[in-house]
Structure 1
Amino acid sequence: MAATRHLSKFAPSGRRTWMSTAGIERAHRAILFPGQGSQYVGMGKDLYHLYPRSAKLVFDEADEALGYGLKSLIFDGHQEKLKLTENAQPAILTTSLAMLRVLELEFGLDVTKACGYVLGHSLGEYTALVATRSLSLTDAVRLVRLRGEAMTRSVEDLHQTNTAMAALVVRQGRLQDLEDAIGEIKDMLPKGEVVELANINSSFQVVISGTSRGVDGASRILQQRQLAARAVDLPVSAPFHCEFMAEAAQVMKDALKSVTFQKPCVDVISNVTAKPYTSAEEIPDHLVQQITSAIQWSRSITYCKGQDVDEFICFGPGKVLANLLKKEYPLDQIKSITSADDILHHAEEFY
């Protein structure tokens, strides 16, 4: 039976605070952060103006860390420039953390008491590490900016190689068969052609990455074998999470050597292992592996479900992660925090 929640209208400091009568609820809740593709011009602008002592400070710190007007690009820039990998990644991280920071500083949310697990999709893993006090915001913004630049350069170095990514709708109950088939198809492709699993997002959706011919060929074979219902080409600038990102992985390996991580205050689930980190020391290696490996999002969520998590709070722009969860687990409590209105509407429910 769910614990009874009540609203304490104002804490002594003057800020509104929501509290739970049963701290055990935290074990059944996870906080999620999105990856690239969720960005849009104007995201977080309402928070910046409404919450000068929380959201504004996050955007200002990101600007200072990068040395250029990230918030101007986010609030009033052009979508084509914002969606560039090197801009989208720090923009999404900053906006997601601004939303979380508002709940922390204005409404009394304590991440250590509010959830049992924190996880982020691809670049969202950096956001999760900041949220759990493992990584500083300044370091994270600089790292994901560098990550985006390195990913872009990796593609430029491919010269005449045409690359692509495609999302596949997996037929019910065929995810493992599809994964096995990808391994077979890789061996069947002509020399120089590549296809790899980039994201395993749910039991019904995966993304493949590689050369254009490799991706197209794999898509056709998987549909012919009745493993995938359809394939949709993705409008991306690079073939993420495959062997073509090896140069970017090396760049990040070097950069991460100079960054200090702390053990997360709440379990953060790795995109590589789909299990929580057990120490701060293993975090950099996994962040490097993540660049060329498949994002194990579905297995990460399955891990949470195995720990009796039945409530997910998705912070950040867009509702991709929430929509995946709603389709996979329609009986769970799934909430999206994408704006100031969402914070005011849902905040009491989180405590």
Structure 2
Amino acid sequence: MTLAFIFPGQGSQAVGIGAELADAFATAREVFQEVDDALGQNLARLMREGPEDQLTLTENAQPALMAVSAAVARVLERDFGIGPDRAAFVAGHSLGEYSALAAAGALTLTDAARLLKLRGQAMQRAVPVGEGAMASLIGPKTDVALAEAAAAEGARLGVCVVANDNNQGNVVISGAKAAVDRAIEAAKELGARAIPLNVSAPFHCPLMQPAADEMAAALAEATILAPRAPVVANVTARPTNDPEVIRRLLVEQVTGRVRWRESVLWLAGEGGVTRFAEAGAGKVLSGMIKRIAPEAEATPLNTPADLEAFAQSL
């Protein structure tokens, strides 16, 4: 068995995330306290009690999801003896790349929390509310080629690109609202279903360049170490353990495409990964794995029981 740890992105947040872990493990409570101290806010209470509209704010959702992933990773290491070096690779979806780097020791928990707080704020500042949009193109005919064709139609009216290549049947586009609206119509004409997403900003598109500039300045000051397992980066779908490459790719990721389908194909192919463990909230990535690499095993690690069963299976 060759193992990869994978870490979810935005959208997996819900009131109550991390509560079971905190109730069961002092290690998890320690992680949540470290994140609270880093941010100077009671994020742990917001995660446990809500309100949901505050938790869903990008600047809160991003560090909250990282905190849950970090708690899973640290509990596995401290309470079950399963460190990130047991994995051949780590990877994360969008903000999950920061979770992967924190779990693998490339970023401190404090730096990851602060960088993600800033990332969320910078993304929100980059485009005024209502001027950007995202849409999910779904259905059996939906692939990246169809999404690129639809985005090209939208781009006649403004910025419109493929933002997330999640899996066959699920591709997300992002850009200026009028352009995305046009791309939605084009996608329907091409045989896809198109669902506008309830997001506060158009992530992973060139409109995010002001946010990329802010992140470049912040990341230039951050200490990044070689991860204990290579990280498969979103924008290249290939592994690296070079701190300076990681720093550059985290900046590129703000405006660049999340190449998740390609990342999983590389991991399950050249990487030889036969088992994926999704560390954090929800099981969205595990569902994607089953569609991209059905021969591989995908295990969501959400609850104390999940962690115990996983540890016993190794």
TM-score tier, shorter chain, comes to: over 0.9
Equivalent in the alignment of 1:100: 73
Aligned pair partner of 1:91 in 64, 67, 72: 64
Q: In terms of mean alpha carbon deviation, does 178-187 or 89-98 score higher?
A: 178-187
Distance 1:142 1:330 in 2: 36
Aligned pair partner of 1:235 in 172, 183, 198: 198
Matches within 5 A, 1:167-178: 167-169=136-138, 171-172=140-141, 175-178=143-146
1:100-135, CA deviations, whole angstroms, 9 ceiling, x for partnerless residues?
Answer: 11111111112212x111000000000100111111
Matches within 5 A, 1:300-311: 300-306=263-269, 307-311=271-275
Alignment pair present for 1:341 and 2:299: no
Deviation (angstroms), 1:171: 3.7
1:223-278, CA deviations, whole angstroms, 9 ceiling, x for partnerless residues?
Answer: 3133x2x0111111111111121111111011111111111111101111110114
Specify the structure having the higher radius of gyration (Cα).
1
Equivalent in the alignment of 1:245: 208
Equivalent in the alignment of 2:185: 220
C-alpha RMSD of the superposition: 1.6
1:154-202, CA deviations, whole angstroms, 9 ceiling, x for partnerless residues?
Answer: 123x7xx632111011545x63532552464255x13xx2211110001
Q: Is the 8 A contact 1:170 1:206 kept in 2?
A: no
Q: Secondary structure at the match of 1:32?
A: strand
Distance 1:203 1:269 in 2: 20
Matches within 5 A, 1:130-149: 130-149=102-121
Q: Is the 8 A contact 2:36 2:44 kept in 1?
A: yes
- In the alignment of these two chains, the number of paired residues is 313
Q: Secondary structure at the match of 2:272?
A: coil
Alignment pair present for 1:279 and 2:248: no
Q: Secondary structure at the match of 1:257?
A: helix
Q: In terms of mean alpha carbon deviation, does 204-213 or 293-302 score higher?
A: 204-213
Distance 2:240 2:147 in 1: 25
Distance 2:15 2:35 in 1: 17
Q: Secondary structure at the match of 2:239?
A: coil
Equivalent in the alignment of 1:315: 279
Q: Secondary structure at the match of 1:81?
A: helix
Equivalent in the alignment of 2:15: 41
Distance 1:183 1:333 in 2: 33
Unaligned runs of 5+ in 1: 1-24
Letter in 1 for 2:110: T
Deviation (angstroms), 1:136: 0.5
Q: Is the 8 A contact 2:144 2:165 kept in 1?
A: no
Q: Is the 8 A contact 2:151 2:162 kept in 1?
A: no
Identity fraction in percent: 41
Q: Secondary structure at the match of 1:249?
A: helix
Q: Secondary structure at the match of 1:291?
A: helix
Cα gap change, 1:182/1:241 in structure 2, threshold over 3 Å: closer, same or farther? same
Letter in 2 for 1:347: A
Q: Secondary structure at the match of 1:40?
A: coil
Q: Is the 8 A contact 2:16 2:47 kept in 1?
A: yes
Distance 2:57 2:95 in 1: 14
Q: Secondary structure at the match of 1:290?
A: helix
Q: Secondary structure at the match of 2:135?
A: strand
Letter in 2 for 1:168: L
Unaligned runs of 5+ in 2: none
Distance 1:215 1:134 in 2: 36
Q: Secondary structure at the match of 2:171?
A: strand
Letter in 2 for 1:108: G
TM-score normalised by structure 1 residue count: 0.85
Letter in 1 for 2:170: Q
TM-score normalised by structure 2 residue count: 0.95
Distance 1:334 1:218 in 2: 33
Cα gap change, 1:163/1:323 in structure 2, threshold over 3 Å: closer, same or farther? same
Distance 1:110 1:100 in 2: 7
Q: In terms of mean alpha carbon deviation, does 212-221 or 29-38 score higher?
A: 212-221
Q: Secondary structure at the match of 1:245?
A: helix
Equivalent in the alignment of 1:269: 232
1:194-230, CA deviations, whole angstroms, 9 ceiling, x for partnerless residues?
Answer: 211110001221100112221121122123133x2x0
Equivalent in the alignment of 1:163: 132
Q: Is the 8 A contact 2:164 2:171 kept in 1?
A: yes
Equivalent in the alignment of 2:98: 126
